[in-house]
Structure 1
Amino acid sequence: MEQNQIILIDKPYGWTSFQTLKKVKYLLKVAKIGHAGTLDPLATGLLILCTGQKTKEISLYQAQEKEYTGTLVLGKTTPSIDLETEFDSEKDTSRLKAQDVEDILPKFLGEIEQVPPIYSAVKKDGKRLYELARKGKTTEIEPKKIHIYELEITNLQNFPEIDFRVVCSKGTYIRSLVRDIGESLGVGAYLKSLCRTRIGGFRLENAWKISDLETHYRMNKKGE
């Protein structure tokens, strides 16, 4: 597992995609490595790393559809739409029923326009949006066309917490989807947890955990 490989990693919670890449680069001692699609630090799940000549294929993997599972919470919001920032609003959700959520989901299916979160890596005038947001600056963000292929609720037992699964195109922000669902219901929402489970035909269950990769690498070094 060195040069010219595709390496599937289960990105740990709290790590940036770059930190994960840097760790794997150090472990495998590879000169050239890149990742095919960023995950937010508070998200977990599948990260595709490519080494050597395989880095030329990164754009192919980035373009493939993605699958995520996650939990959103209705009635509270944060500026980052996740738990990176503090809560800034709270609204009563007692009038809402599970069916209200089911009823609005179809409006988010198919090709839709989506405004990226202000806390994102999208560039505006040469600056990352999160850099502006962390300085308290606001800016107008252009919507982007994305495609939601599947969107389903998987658990409502802890309502207003909602477990969901979504299959979507490249460029989709799940935090923006959560924000828009919350706004459609009139109470706001934030993303409590998120896991990327699939990119095209690559699945999370076939990915290395960082700890397992470390163990595997050290055992191989001892056997040399």
Structure 2
Amino acid sequence: MATGLLIVCVGKATKWADSYQGMIKGYSGVFRLGEATSTWDADSPVIQREPWEHVKDGDIKKAAASFCGEIWQVPPMFSAIKVGGEKMYEKARRGESVELSPRRISIFQFDIERSLEDRQNLIFRVTCSKGTYIRSLCADFGKALGTCAHLTALRRDSIGEYLANDAWDFKELEEAITKSYF
């Protein structure tokens, strides 16, 4: 489901990996109002439906503005965060539930509007800090609108100054690595 930019470090460049991970990220995608899933994305079936028709365009703009700045966010259960040395998604797959502590994140820009084709879908673009979970942002956004929501599409558009539109595709990367190392 997730697409877009991934910075791959090879050889001596691996020493820079941490600096890339700490950079501001840019994402775009789609939230679907009125439906929730256990993973907060489209990778699992809908488990909850709530009315969403009451949500007005002004409500969407107001809610988006309330998420900008420093906020606290609870990561999703289906995440790679380790608790007790084990990744959360492993616990979640076994049906275990662990209360995760909220983490401070920053939302620098959050633009969102209704899809013209399907008013239940919201198209978004967000610029955020390291550690932001877009699935959590989506679920929290649905709650702020008095309904539920899940993520149906996600693309990482940027990492710092690096843009997905300027990146190599996998085939180009594979060819470059082969030429450089073999």
Q: Same fold (TM over 0.5)?
A: yes
Partner of 1:134: 93
Aligned length: 180
| 5+ long unaligned stretches in structure 2 | none
**Preserved contact between residue 120 and residue 129 of structure 1 (Cα < 8 Å):** yes
Residue 102 of structure 2 corresponds to 143
Q: Distance in 2 between matches of 1:177 and 1:199?
A: 18
1:209 aligns with 2:145: no
TM-score in terms of structure 2 length = 0.92
Amino acid at match of 1:88: I
Alignment partners' CA distance in 1, 2:7 and 2:100: 28
> Which residue of structure 1 lines up, in the alignment, with residue 37 of structure 2?
78
Residues 1:100 and 2:59 aligned together: yes
- Alignment deviations for residues 137-160 of structure 1 (CA, whole Å, 9 cap, x no partner): 101101100000000015532211
- What's the TM-score once normalised by structure 1's chain length? 0.76
The AA in structure 1 aligned to 2:149 is A
User: Cα distance 1:220–1:101, how it changes in 2: closer, same or farther (>3 A)?
Assistant: same
Q: Which has the higher contact order (CA 8 A, sep 6+)?
A: 2
Q: CA deviation at 1:213?
A: 4.0
The 1:53–1:180 alpha-carbon spacing in structure 2 relative to 1, beyond 3 Å, is same
Q: What 5-or-longer segments of structure 1 have no aligned partner?
A: 1-41
Q: What is the identity percentage for the equivalent residue pairs of Structure 1 and Structure 2?
A: 39
Structure 1 segments of 4 or more deviating over 3 A? 211-214, 216-221
Contact 2:60 2:113 in 1 (8 A): no
1:94 and 1:47 map into 2 onto residues whose CA distance is: 36
Q: Which residue of 2 aligns with 1:116?
A: 75
Contact 1:81 1:176 in 2 (8 A): yes
